[in-house]
Structure 1
Amino acid sequence: MSRGSFVFTSTALRSLELDEDMLERHKYKKQLTSHHFNSYMLKKEIRDRTPLRFSTDTPPTVCQDVVVQNALYTGDLEAMQHVFPRGSTVNLIIEPQGGDMRWVPTGEGLWSLSYEQELTTPLHITAGRGFTECLRLLLQRGANVDLAPRGTTALHESCENCQPECTKLLLIHGANANALTEDGLMPLHFCTSPESVGCAKYLLQYGAAISGRTLDEGDTPLHVAASNGLPEHTELYLRYGAAVDKQNNEGVTPLIAACSEPQEVQELERYFKVCQKLLAAGADVHAMDQDKNTALHKACKNVNPDVVDLLLANGACVNDMGYGGEAPMHNILKVVCYKVSHHPERIVRALLNHGSIRVWPGALPKVLKYCCGSPRTIEVLLNAYSHLKVTDTWVESVSSEMLKEHKEFYESIFSLAQTPRSLQHLARFRLRTFLEGRVHKVVPKLDLPTFIKNYLLLEYRGYVH
């Protein structure tokens, strides 16, 4: 090996790939900055050639007047008419008093603890608080509709705070529907709650780019709607031509994004409706992100049973492995103890009925330890085996609290240390083994009583036999 060479390892290759990715992102940011600068200079040239008519041609001035701030923050229209008479300057930079304390440099290596001031404007204040008439007054006085002292415009503010009437008013007066913040976010990216759908509608009517992507993550508005569980936004964006399988910088599609977010019990239905609309629009259920995780992996991790059933009904593969070698079954078993109220047993049952791999028998005591808070999950899991080698380790794996709360159930498991599985269960196991991954398709079609079909599909009984 020459003195100028080095060992080209997989680590070095990965480092070079990361460097290349960083250079690409830097190049993209540089191009975007150049584009905005050129656009700004062009607008400035046009503005300089236009005769002065409004106060927008004068640079904004800093205002610390408490009277002015009180009128703005309270939406006092009468007071604002006195504060901003015709011909007055309305392009103000407001420095609110108070805020969070932070250390700031004062020069010569010294630092001072001062209040953090977030600069804003009268338009931002009124638009963000829904003071429509006050906002109209400012716009009539010639306020600069796209002024952005801290990187966001009043339009971003109105969308973030779900103020559709203010959003409409700003757009009517020429606000840029595709204005970018310093972080590369458009107003559509600020529509993150169900109440913001009115703002999103107005933005699209006034030319907002449905395919606009955030600078850092590369998320489209559809990604944002999906990750926030917004079915109305999702339907709206799809109607305007949003790409249903567009991947962001990490390879995440809107469907994967909808399944990736942690969800409270009251939010499960919203995310289910989003997934329904995406799949109806042709979303690819087999799409994978950079870590080779599918929407099913994510739905299992966040324990949304209805979404799991929906994905399986649309052909999702139960045994796809991510880069970490984990199948959907691994993901659900790791979070059972945290998501008992989400009914994780439904997911374990659905995965097994669709042919999912099972846990290695030697690891069952460990699973019992971490999943004992959900007896139904344990029941479904154990009924996928013909024989169980129950030992003292099994008994020790169940906490005394869970053992007391579900005494009869766990005693039925521990009794299998002396007795084999029942003949009825062995017959079920044999039939399920013969059908393999077709259990969910074949069993419902069998000419059998309903209670037998439910038994074959691992319905819960409250004990193991």
Structure 2
Amino acid sequence: MKLWSTDGQCAELLLKHGANIHLPSEDSGETALHVAAKHGLYDHAHLYLRHGADVDARSTRGETALGLVCRQAPDAAEDALQLCRLLVVRGAKLDARDELRRSPLHEACGAANNVLVRFLLRRGADVNAIDYNGISPLGCVLQAAAFKQELRPHLVVQLLLNYGSQKIWPHAFAKVLVLVGAGGVEAGWAMGGLTQHGCMGV
């Protein structure tokens, strides 16, 4: 019996009648916990974990529930943060990699979600993790900056630099900060050691 209900009482009833908490979907290989994480359903995730759900179960793409939560946009940051805390307390691996070697921190940076980035970094996520394309978390937020300016990606850049991110692509870095506004550039100079010529300080 599969467990995909978005209704909390219904999900609990299904579990009581033998629904398989570990059964993945045929197409994506996602478990009930993956679905709860993807949709930000904290109560469901808590229920599934209490019934023994594998916190680090992998989809066919190698995705964990934590990685899926970290894709949430900043407008859902507080709900996503609560869910991230739950998963980490239950033992979720901070640096679990998917099939593209992307970590939850890569995902949070790609979404320009500074709340989740801060959470992951404070708990020891690898700030210089590299995916199969050679992209670090800093690279992810720089790629996203040009079309996510309203999300203030420079805040994520500041966090990454403060936690020891390698300072890559110095000229491109300054140009991207220009895209997010003068405030972002000034913050970049202050937090990341940029000079006003667009080069990294030593």
TM over 0.5: yes
Deviating more after overlay: 199-208 vs 224-233: 199-208
Match of residue 263, structure 1, among 66, 73, 78: 73
Q: Which has the higher contact order (CA 8 A, sep 6+)?
A: 2
Residue 387 of structure 1 aligns to which amino acid in structure 2? T
* Alignment pair present for 1:315 and 2:124: yes
SS in 1 for 2:4: helix
Cα distance change of structure 1 residues 374 and 234 upon mapping to structure 2, 3 Å threshold: farther
* Alignment pair present for 1:373 and 2:180: yes
Structure 1 residue 190 displacement after superposition: 4.2
Name the structure 2 match of 1:189.
4
Name the structure 2 match of 1:26.
none
Counterpart CA distance in 2 for 1:365 and 1:346 is 14
Residue 324 of structure 1 aligns to which amino acid in structure 2? N
Structure 1 residue 305 displacement after superposition: 1.4
Task: Specify which structure has the higher proportion of strand.
Answer: 1
Structure 1, residues 144-166: CA drift from partner, whole Å, max 9, x if none? xxxxxxxxxxxxxxxxxxxxxxx
Counterpart CA distance in 2 for 1:213 and 1:254 is 13
Q: How does 1:386-425 map to 2 (within 5 A)?
A: 387-389=195-197
Rg bigger for which structure?
A: 1
Q: How does 1:145-156 map to 2 (within 5 A)?
A: none
Q: How does 1:329-348 map to 2 (within 5 A)?
A: 329-348=138-157
Q: How does 1:282-361 map to 2 (within 5 A)?
A: 282-361=91-170
User: What is the TM-score when the length of structure 2 is the normalising length?
Assistant: 0.89
SS in 2 for 1:272: helix
Residue 222 of structure 1 aligns to which amino acid in structure 2? L
Counterpart CA distance in 2 for 1:253 and 1:357 is 26
C-alpha RMSD of the superposition: 2.0
* Alignment pair present for 1:363 and 2:172: yes
Cα distance change of structure 1 residues 343 and 366 upon mapping to structure 2, 3 Å threshold: closer
Cα distance change of structure 1 residues 276 and 375 upon mapping to structure 2, 3 Å threshold: farther
Counterpart CA distance in 1 for 2:90 and 2:184 is 33
Residue 116 of structure 2 aligns to which amino acid in structure 1? V
Task: Please say if residues 4 and 11 of structure 2, whose CA atoms lie closer than 8 Å, have aligned partners that are also in contact.
Answer: no
User: What is the TM-score when the length of structure 1 is the normalising length?
Assistant: 0.40
Structure 1, residues 172-229: CA drift from partner, whole Å, max 9, x if none? xxxxxx1xxxxxxx3x2242xxxx2222122112221111110011111001101111
Counterpart CA distance in 1 for 2:167 and 2:186 is 13
Q: How does 1:228-267 map to 2 (within 5 A)?
A: 228-260=39-71, 262-263=72-73, 265=75, 267=76
Name the structure 2 match of 1:274.
83
SS in 2 for 1:225: helix
Q: How many residues align?
A: 199
Identity of paired residues, percent?
35
Structure 1: runs of 5 or more not aligned:
1-177, 179-185, 391-428, 434-465
Task: Please say if residues 297 and 327 of structure 1, whose CA atoms lie closer than 8 Å, have aligned partners that are also in contact.
Answer: yes
Cα distance change of structure 1 residues 358 and 189 upon mapping to structure 2, 3 Å threshold: same
Structure 1 residue 295 displacement after superposition: 0.3
